[in-house]
């Protein structure tokens, strides 16, 4: 179902028989809402989010492509999150079965303007699926359509903003003992200790080569999110905390308490200067899947 969203921007609503739902905008191919079958919102969306190009929507699931972060030739987190995507009327056969599920297929291709800043041709197909249990799955297939067959590299993230009751009561499991690059310390590489991750100040880390399953435990709400990922080796965890929150025009001063970003990502191998992992050889389809389930 396509309808008008904020500022007249069009959005797609997916509904599942048991009552769960999801919403995404053509602008950014951006999921802005995911509700369980009790109608509870599971994603954080800022009350100050700006739904106006070229600003990316603050909250939900921004898609960072073809560059995650600011390391590279492009604007922070690339341009996929502030382009208008289209319905993909002719998606190629899909590896996973979507029958019985609510889903939509979107596509993004570069404009001539985009080619000037990132000179590669591609077709980026995004399928957003809402399963019968209310789980949400995003699958991205990036095809290199460069006519000269030249490979390109990219970095990537599903920059998911989870809604939590109080971030200082939240634990993240699955990242213990892993190596990470600390964005707050010039991307220096460290090793995480053996305990679940908890939050008491600004946090911005890129965990390298993580397990495919990460759990976010919201003690107060008695809710657990399980993030599963495939084709996305890394994971980013971010909370801006009070000072950065105040500095962001599209984010409420106290909203940091009620969100946590845990992001399935493909970043770089080795060090901060490592080469990007996402390599799209000629005509190769690169599938990246992130699925989210919530219980409790």
Least distance to ligand TA6 from the beta carbon of 207, Å? Answer: 12
Interaction between residue 208 and ligand TA6 (CB under 6 A):
no
Instruction: Using the rule CB under 6 A, give the single segment among 69-77, 133-141, 162-170, 226-234 that binds ligand TA6.
Output: 69-77
In 48-160, beta strands by DSSP E? 63-64, 86-87, 102-108, 122-130, 136-144, 152-154, 156-158
Catalytic hit among 30, 77, 159, 286 = 159
Interaction between residue 67 and ligand TA6 (CB under 6 A):
no
Least distance to ligand TA6 from the beta carbon of 22, Å? Answer: 21
- Residues forming beta bridges with residue 207, ordered by sequence position: 180, 235
Q: Which phi and psi angles does 80 have, rounded to 5°?
A: -60, -30
Return the closest-CA partner of residue 91 out of 80, 82, 103, 79.
Answer: 103
Q: Which phi and psi angles does 146 have, rounded to 5°?
A: -55, 130
Interaction between residue 234 and ligand TA6 (CB under 6 A):
no
What are the distances in angstroms from CA 225 to CA 39, 215, 255?
16, 6, 19
> Is residue 263 flagged as an active site residue?
yes
Least distance to ligand TA6 from the beta carbon of 28, Å? Answer: 11
Measured from the CB atom, is 140 or 183 closer to ligand TA6? Answer: 183
Task: Please give the size of the binding site for ligand TA6, defined by CB under 6 A.
Answer: 11
Least distance to ligand TA6 from the beta carbon of 156, Å? Answer: 12
Q: Which phi and psi angles does 178 have, rounded to 5°?
A: -85, 160
Interaction between residue 238 and ligand TA6 (CB under 6 A):
yes
| Contacting residue, 46, 129, 160, 183, with ligand TA6 by CB under 6 A | 183
């Amino acid at each position: 179902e396509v309808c008008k969203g904020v500022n007249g921007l069009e959005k797609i609503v997916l509904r599942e028989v048991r009552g769960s739902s999801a919403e995404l905008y053509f602008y950014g191919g951006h999921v802005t809402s995911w509700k369980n079958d009790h109608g509870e919102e599971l994603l954080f969306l800022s009350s100050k989010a700006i739904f106006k190009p070229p600003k990316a929507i603050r909250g939900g699931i921004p898609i960072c492509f073809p560059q995650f972060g600011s390391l590279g030739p492009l604007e922070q987190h690339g341009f996929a999150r502030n382009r208008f995507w289209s319905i993909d009327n002719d998606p190629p056969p899909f590896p996973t079965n979507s029958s019985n599920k609510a889903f939509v297929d979107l596509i993004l291709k570069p404009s001539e303007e985009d080619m000037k800043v990132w000179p590669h041709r591609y077709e980026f197909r995004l399928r957003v699926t809402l399963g019968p249990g209310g789980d949400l799955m995003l699958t991205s297939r990036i095809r290199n359509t460069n006519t000269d067959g030249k490979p390109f590299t990219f970095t990537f993230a599903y920059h998911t903003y989870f809604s939590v009751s109080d971030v200082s009561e939240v634990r993240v499991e699955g990242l213990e003992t892993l190596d990470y690059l600390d964005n707050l310390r010039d991307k220096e590489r460290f090793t995480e200790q053996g305990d679940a991750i908890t939050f008491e100040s600004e946090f911005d880390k890129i965990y390298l080569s993580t397990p495919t399953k990460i759990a976010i435990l919201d003690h107060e709400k008695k809710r657990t999110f399980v993030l599963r990922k495939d084709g996305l080796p890394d994971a980013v965890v971010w909370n801006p905390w009070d000072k950065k929150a105040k500095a962001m025009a599209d984010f409420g001063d106290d909203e940091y308490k009620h969100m946590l970003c845990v992001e399935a990502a493909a970043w770089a191998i080795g060090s901060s200067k490592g080469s990007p992992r996402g390599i799209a050889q000629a005509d190769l389809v690169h599938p990246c899947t992130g699925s989210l389930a919530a219980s409790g």
